[in-house]
């Protein structure tokens, strides 16, 4: 959004129920203001040119409120101030595309593709609502913290409802379609033309048809091809078609979006297993796209934009969904009951008051059966060759196959309802990528899996599976590294991962697009997945100088404890907010111990006879 300047003597201080806080410094016949609603929420008010019947204009704004709030700055309301209609819309905190390119340079690669997909998604949503934008240009595309938004849609169309409009903004000539110079009404193809011209600006930093005068610019729009030199060939092909001089020669917005994202990519998030066609169809109905937007488009908007123009929240995240009280016992229960797990070398030593217990395992001997423990302690088989991870509420078990691509080129994760036995699968990524190491969100609605590129021996990002919607969103991240550092959820539901850059060992926290929004670069490396204490207030890592285990205040990043541990100790998770679970080698095999924050052993939770691993166990609550 363009910068705000102080109000002048002729500017209003209140418009309807909104309090004006500043004037937006941008060209145009209307006056734009920053304001707040009665609840203090920031909004933008555009006070349009005076008309004889302003009520007709505000009535025409009504349909704009029905445009889905997906990649658009949503219209919130309208009214009149004297003979001037006004429109209230969502305030998007971020620079316009024009400002971002001027300040940080042009976009390319994934950032440009993400911008193209996001803005064309907005055009599709606008057209499906029966509305035109009428003024797409770099100044009406805002690069918000959650992705690009198209603003100010439908204002020209609303103004056309008054035959006595004194002044009508018709946009910059370089972003108007040829037919608009002879037919001011335009239509959906004109929006497609203007969108393509805007993408040319994003990629090159220049108006595609600009001349040294308005007359020269108009002549170039009418007769000259746009200069697309330097733009990626795939995007260049799309833009060239959209910039055709005849409106009937341009693809409709829905077809453009399908061309940008590809049917093949949609398959990754819709759960279909039929192998896709290599190339997406160019001419498909928009009705298909409506469902596709809901099912999968978030994946393609997750491609990280250039960090230069994204405003990142630097403050530590709040523990919005985590409990704030520590989960602890007066003391660790001493009395235990032994339970030998058949077919393994593991004996559990448990108390009914234990807040967590071993709740699932995968046998490492043929036939590699996966088991989940019931509330009475008995075991039930839930799969073969699949790593089981039980949800925090005990409703679901996520089953991730250890052997990949036996039936198709797609990896997947399976979900089994532990009460009914019902199952479903969700496709995640396609070979050579694969998903590994599933981890549940605390509310039990999502699973995050790390995406490993086997051919390149690196991590490409993560997949978040929405269990209720049965969809998967693949989010690419710039960070690469081995699978020793898996992705997991923070207490508030964002995604985090340990990292090493050669200088620092720490934790990076990502937003939904794969951008790092917080870095704890001093804390050392977390292991496995259960890094956060039951309350969510503490984080455990291997200390940065490998001097033991470290416990940190998650909110402030301050060190709370340094815990000495024997050599070759492995991390197993938290027991309470003041007790950890670790696996320690002993003479006859291993002991799984509960220790306090001073390293004192409170109790043995399990013993493993012999050095040979016979099962892969997971710690958590029982179903």
Residue 483: Cβ-neighbour burial (10 angstroms; 0-12, 13-18, 19+)? middle
pLDDT interval class at 314 (50, 70, 90): very low
Q: Is residue 327 in a domain?
A: no
DSSP string, 251-282: PPHHHHHHHHH-HHHHHHHH---SPPPSS--S
Question: Is it the case that residue 70 has pLDDT exceeding 70?
Answer: no
CA 229 – CA 203 distance, rounded (Å): 10
Cβ atoms of 559 and 550 closer than 8 Å: yes
Check residue 576 and give its pLDDT: 92
Check residue 183 and give its pLDDT: 54
Asked if the peptide bond before residue 512 counts as cis, ω within 30 degrees of 0, the response is no
**Is the domain of 165 the same as that of 290?**
yes
| DSSP, res 390 | E
Mean pLDDT calculated for residue range 415-443: 92
Highest-confidence segment of 120-124, 279-283, 445-449? 445-449
Q: Is residue 319 in a domain?
A: no
Question: Is it the case that residue 283 has pLDDT exceeding 70?
Answer: no
**Is the domain of 303 the same as that of 350?**
no
Residue written as token pair 């003479």: 587
Mean pLDDT calculated for residue range 88-101: 84
Question: Is it the case that residue 477 has pLDDT exceeding 50?
Answer: yes
**Is the domain of 117 the same as that of 180?**
yes
Check residue 481 and give its pLDDT: 60
CA 6 – CA 23 distance, rounded (Å): 6
Lowest mean pLDDT among 191-195, 241-245, 501-505, 563-567: 501-505
**Is the domain of 434 the same as that of 359?**
yes
Q: Is residue 609 in a domain?
A: yes
Lowest mean pLDDT among 24-38, 118-132, 229-243, 596-610: 24-38
Check residue 169 and give its pLDDT: 44
Element (H, E) at 384: strand 379-384
**Is the domain of 140 the same as that of 37?**
yes
| DSSP, res 532 | B
**Is the domain of 364 the same as that of 279?**
no
Q: Is residue 247 in a domain?
A: yes
State the CATH number of the domain containing residue 204. 1.10.510.10
Question: Is it the case that residue 373 has pLDDT exceeding 60?
Answer: yes
Q: Is residue 326 in a domain?
A: no
* Three-state DSSP class for residue 407: coil
Strands in 115-271 per DSSP E = 141-144, 147-150
Question: Is it the case that residue 81 has pLDDT exceeding 60?
Answer: yes
% pLDDT > 70, the chain: 78
pLDDT interval class at 451 (50, 70, 90): very high
State the CATH number of the domain containing residue 414. 2.130.10.10
Neighbour tally for 242: CB within 10 Å: 26
Neighbour tally for 490: CB within 10 Å: 23
Check residue 396 and give its pLDDT: 93
% pLDDT > 90, the chain: 26
Mean pLDDT calculated for residue range 383-390: 90
Start-to-end C-alpha separation, the chain: 49
Check residue 607 and give its pLDDT: 92
Domains identified in the chain, total number: 2
Of 91, 261, 144, the residue nearest 511 (C-alpha): 144
**Is the domain of 400 the same as that of 261?**
no
pLDDT interval class at 28 (50, 70, 90): low
Asked if the peptide bond before residue 466 counts as cis, ω within 30 degrees of 0, the response is no
Paired tokens of 299: 């994946």
Mean pLDDT calculated for residue range 606-619: 76
Check residue 315 and give its pLDDT: 30
Check residue 398 and give its pLDDT: 94
Cβ atoms of 303 and 114 closer than 8 Å: yes
Q: Is residue 320 in a domain?
A: no
Helix residue spans in 205-331 (DSSP H): 214-223, 233-242, 253-261, 263-270, 286-301
Check residue 362 and give its pLDDT: 85
Lowest mean pLDDT among 24-38, 252-266, 457-471, 574-588: 252-266
Mean pLDDT calculated for residue range 246-260: 86
Given 3-state DSSP classes, what are the helix, strand and coil percentages for the chain, each rounded to the nearest 5?
Answer: 20, 35, 45
Q: Which residues have CB under 8 Å from 506's CB, separation 6+?
A: 498, 499, 519, 520, 521, 522, 523, 524, 525, 544
Of 454, 536, 551, the residue nearest 496 (C-alpha): 536
Across all residues in the chain, what is the average pLDDT?
A: 78
**Is the domain of 364 the same as that of 283?**
no
CA 169 – CA 386 distance, rounded (Å): 61
Question: Is it the case that residue 327 has pLDDT exceeding 70?
Answer: no
CA 466 – CA 42 distance, rounded (Å): 31
Check residue 302 and give its pLDDT: 33
CA 223 – CA 246 distance, rounded (Å): 11
pLDDT interval class at 179 (50, 70, 90): confident
Q: Is residue 458 in a domain?
A: yes
Check residue 209 and give its pLDDT: 86
**Is the domain of 429 the same as that of 305?**
no
Check residue 26 and give its pLDDT: 65
**Is the domain of 349 the same as that of 261?**
no
Mean pLDDT calculated for residue range 71-83: 76
Paired tokens of 487: 């992705």
CA 1 – CA 96 distance, rounded (Å): 5
Domain span at residue 448?
337-620
Residue 21: Cβ-neighbour burial (10 angstroms; 0-12, 13-18, 19+)? middle
CA 106 – CA 26 distance, rounded (Å): 21
Of 2, 38, 46, 32, the residue nearest 19 (C-alpha): 38
Q: What is the pLDDT of residues 524-571, one digit of tens each?
A: 989 888 899 999 999 999 998 888 999 999 988 899 999 999 888 888
Of 541, 532, 544, 603, the residue nearest 574 (C-alpha): 532
Mean pLDDT calculated for residue range 282-291: 31
Check residue 317 and give its pLDDT: 29
**Is the domain of 453 the same as that of 570?**
yes
Paired tokens of 414: 């399976």
The pair phi, psi for residue 506, each rounded to 5°, is: -165, -155
Between 615 and 510, the more confident residue is: 510
Q: Is residue 323 in a domain?
A: no
Residue 210: Cβ-neighbour burial (10 angstroms; 0-12, 13-18, 19+)? middle
**Is the domain of 410 the same as that of 519?**
yes
In terms of DSSP bridges, do strands 410-417 and 579-586 run parallel, antiparallel, or are they unpaired?
unpaired
């Amino acid at each position: 959004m363009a910068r705000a300047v102080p109000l002048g003597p002729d500017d209003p201080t209140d418009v309807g129920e909104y309090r004006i806080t500043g004037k937006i410094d941008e060209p145009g016949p209307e006056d734009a203001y920053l304001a707040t609603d009665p609840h203090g929420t920031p909004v933008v008010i555009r006070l349009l040119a005076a008309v004889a019947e302003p009520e007709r204009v505000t009535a025409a704004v009504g349909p704009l409120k029905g445009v889905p709030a997906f990649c658009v700055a949503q219209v919130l309301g309208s009214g009149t101030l004297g003979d001037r209609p006004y429109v209230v819309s969502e305030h998007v905190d971020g620079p316009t595309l024009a400002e971002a390119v001027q300040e940080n340079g042009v976009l390319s690669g994934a950032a440009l593709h993400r911008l193209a997909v996001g803005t064309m998604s907005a055009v599709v949503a606008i057209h499906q609502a029966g509305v035109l934008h009428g003024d797409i240009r770099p100044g009406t595309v805002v690069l918000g913290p959650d992705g690009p938004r198209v603003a100010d849609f439908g204002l020209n169309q609303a103004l056309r409802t008054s035959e006595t409009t004194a002044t009508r903004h018709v946009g910059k000539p370089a972003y108007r379609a040829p037919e608009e110079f002879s037919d001011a009404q335009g239509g959906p193809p004109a929006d497609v033309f203007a969108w393509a011209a805007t993408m040319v600006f994003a990629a090159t930093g220049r108006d595609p048809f600009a001349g040294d005068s308005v007359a020269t610019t108009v002549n170039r729009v009418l007769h000259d091809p746009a200069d697309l030199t330097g733009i990626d060939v795939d995007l260049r092909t799309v833009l060239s078609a959209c910039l055709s001089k005849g409106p009937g020669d341009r693809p409709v917005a829905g077809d453009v979006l399908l061309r940008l994202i590809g049917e093949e990519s949609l398959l990754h998030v819709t759960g279909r297993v039929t192998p896709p066609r290599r190339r997406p169809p160019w001419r498909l109905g928009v009705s298909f796209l409506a469902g596709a937007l809901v099912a999968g488009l978030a994946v393609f908007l997750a491609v990280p934009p250039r960090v230069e123009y994204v405003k990142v929240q630097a403050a530590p995240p709040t523990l919005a969904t985590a409990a704030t009280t520590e989960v602890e016992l007066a003391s660790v229960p001493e009395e235990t009951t032994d339970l030998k797990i058949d077919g393994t070398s593991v004996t559990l030593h448990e108390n009914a008051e234990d807040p967590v217990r071993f709740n699932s395992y995968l046998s490492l001997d043929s036939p590699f059966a996966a088991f989940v423990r019931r509330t009475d302690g008995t075991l039930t088989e839930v799969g073969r060759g699949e790593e089981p991870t039980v949800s925090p509420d005990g409703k679901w078990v996520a089953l991730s196959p250890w052997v990949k691509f036996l039936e198709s080129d797609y990896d997947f994760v399976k979900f089994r309802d532990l009460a009914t036995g019902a199952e479903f699968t969700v496709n995640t990524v396609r070979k050579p990528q694969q998903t590994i190491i599933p981890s549940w969100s605390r509310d039990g609605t999502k699973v995050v899996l790390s995406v490993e590129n086997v051919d390149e021996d690196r991590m490409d990002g993560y997949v978040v599976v929405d269990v209720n919607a049965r969809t998967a969103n693949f989010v690419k991240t710039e960070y690469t590294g081995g699978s020793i550092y898996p992705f997991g959820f923070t207490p508030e539901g964002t995604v985090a991962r340990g990292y090493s850059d050669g200088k620092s060992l720490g934790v990076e926290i990502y937003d939904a697009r794969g951008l790092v929004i917080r870095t704890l670069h001093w804390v050392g490396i977390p292991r496995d997945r259960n890094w956060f204490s039951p309350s969510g207030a503490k984080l455990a890592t291997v200390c940065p100088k490998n001097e033991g285990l470290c416990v940190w205040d998650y909110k402030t990043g301050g060190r709370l404890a340094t815990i000495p541990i024997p050599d070759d100790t492995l991390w197993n998770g938290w027991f309470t907010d003041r007790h950890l679970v670790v696996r320690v080698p002993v003479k006859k095999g291993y002991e799984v111990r509960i220790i306090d924050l001073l390293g004192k052993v409170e109790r043995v939770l399990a013993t493993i006879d012999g050095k040979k691993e016979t099962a892969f166990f997971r710690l958590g609550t029982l179903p």
